[in-house]
Structure 1
Amino acid sequence: MNTNALFQLSYGLYVAASKFDTKMNGCIVNTVMQVTSNPLQIAVAVNKENLTCEIIQKSNMVSLSVLSETAPFSLFKHFGFQSGRETDKFVDYPFTMTGQELPYLKEHTSAFIDCKVINTVDLGTHMLFICSVNDCDVISDEKAMTYSYYHEFVKPKPEASTTKGWRCIVCGYVYEGEELPPDFICPWCKHGIEDFEKIV
């Protein structure tokens, strides 16, 4: 089976965010889709290991910043390659609040969506949140970034390396070693071994 076929599916890139009590957090997600138009509902998948997932489960609310093609790699590193358990994700990024008092980014964002979680499905590594849309708006005329655009124009190309091991094709993390453990999870982007390639 060639799982590269799945890269032919279309994806966008988003910052999913939530707030519970005084704690706000956000993370990069690529699985968001409208599932019905009446009532207006979307589905959002978030990795269980992310603090954002825990906060969404506690608050039953999520906001989405639809990232645009102007978003730099530093934004993806900030929201995707570190944990909100160790850093305040919103401290250096201009944001505003939705009607539910959830943060969304003001820059490098083409639209925002403000949602209430109405159902949750456990997918093993991820939680799928089925949400009703409370509010949404277009906030810039910048084109929304696709996953393929990110890989082609934003994500840095890997440098030639003499290191033996495995490279995550999502974020570039390198695991040094001849064999990749079957249950290994990337510490940066939380993807499994199916998203690693051998460095040759």
Structure 2
Amino acid sequence: MDLKAFNQLSCGLYLISSAYEGKESGCIVNTVQQVTAEPAQLAVTINKNSYTGELIAQSGMFEATVLSKDVALEQIGRFGFQSGRDTEKFKGISCLRDEEGIPYVKEGMTARFFCRVTGQMDVGTHRIFVGKVEQAQCMEGESMTYAYYHQVKKGGTPKEAPSYQGEEKGQPAQKGWRCKICGYVFEGEALPPDFVCPICKKGPEYMEPLAG
């Protein structure tokens, strides 16, 4: 099976956030879609190990914002490659809060939706949350597709993401290094000793070899 076929499915990138009893977190996903127009409902798929997903299950609410092409990859690194259990995701960055106190980022986003969970489904390693949209707002910019993120931004995919493919048996392994902070992929067998990630500015000690 050619897993690259899944890359042809059109999707964007989204920042999902939630809060519960003073705890808050956010994560980057590419698995948001509208499921009905009346009532307006969105569905999002999140890894069961995600702290953000845990807060959604507890609070029954989430914010979904759409990433623009101009979003800083440092934000993707923070929300996509770090755990909310170890990092205060919203500390030190400009964010707003909705009427329920859930934080969301406006800069680098093209739209936001506040959703109240109406149902969920266990799909193995992940959980699908369906939420009724109670607020929707347009912002500025052009939305970023997942293909643009990989082809132009050169971003990587976290191992807990629904779209993470890993290495398939029988397929030639990609040679290179992935930044553990922001997911940037350096293509090549040898990593220069003075390498600095062009996205998050971390050194070679933060790079890990791609499985091969």
Q: TM class, shorter-chain normalised?
A: 0.7 to 0.9
TM-score (norm 2): 0.76
Q: Deviations over 1:14-38 (max 9, x none)?
A: 1100000101100001100111111
Shift of 1:196: 3.1
Q: Which residue of 2 aligns with 1:170?
A: 157
The amino acid of 1:83's aligned partner reads S
The amino acid of 1:170's aligned partner reads T
Q: Any gaps of 5 or more consecutive residues in structure 2? A: 176-212
User: Counterpart of 2:152 in 1: which secondary structure?
Assistant: helix
Q: Which residue of 2 aligns with 1:6?
A: 6
- Asked whether the equivalents of residues 73 and 155 of structure 1 are also in contact (C-alpha less than 8 Å), the reply is no
User: Counterpart of 2:77 in 1: which secondary structure?
Assistant: helix
- Asked whether the equivalents of residues 72 and 154 of structure 1 are also in contact (C-alpha less than 8 Å), the reply is no
Alignment of 1:67-146 (within 5 A): 67-140=67-140, 142-146=141-145
Q: Deviations over 1:96-132 (max 9, x none)?
A: 0123221110210111100000100001111100110
Aligned residues: 171
What CA distance in whole angstroms lies between the structure 2 residues aligned with 1:190 and 1:5? 17
User: Counterpart of 1:89 in 2: which secondary structure?
Assistant: coil
Alignment of 1:146-161 (within 5 A): 146-155=145-154
Q: Which residue of 1 aligns with 2:167?
A: 196
TM-score (norm 1): 0.80
Q: Any gaps of 5 or more consecutive residues in structure 1? A: 157-168, 172-185
The amino acid of 1:111's aligned partner reads A
- Asked whether the equivalents of residues 17 and 64 of structure 1 are also in contact (C-alpha less than 8 Å), the reply is yes
Residues 1:111 and 1:83: Cα distance change in structure 2 (over 3 Å): same
What CA distance in whole angstroms lies between the structure 2 residues aligned with 1:193 and 1:154? 17
User: Counterpart of 2:86 in 1: which secondary structure?
Assistant: coil
Shift of 1:191: 6.0
Shift of 1:194: 3.1
Q: Which residue of 1 aligns with 2:199?
A: none
- Asked whether the equivalents of residues 19 and 56 of structure 1 are also in contact (C-alpha less than 8 Å), the reply is yes
What CA distance in whole angstroms lies between the structure 1 residues aligned with 2:56 and 2:20? 8
What CA distance in whole angstroms lies between the structure 1 residues aligned with 2:164 and 2:36? 33
Please tell me the root mean square deviation across aligned C-alpha atoms, in Å. 1.8
The amino acid of 2:83's aligned partner reads S
Q: Deviations over 1:50-77 (max 9, x none)?
A: 1001000000001011110001221111
Alignment of 1:15-30 (within 5 A): 15-30=15-30
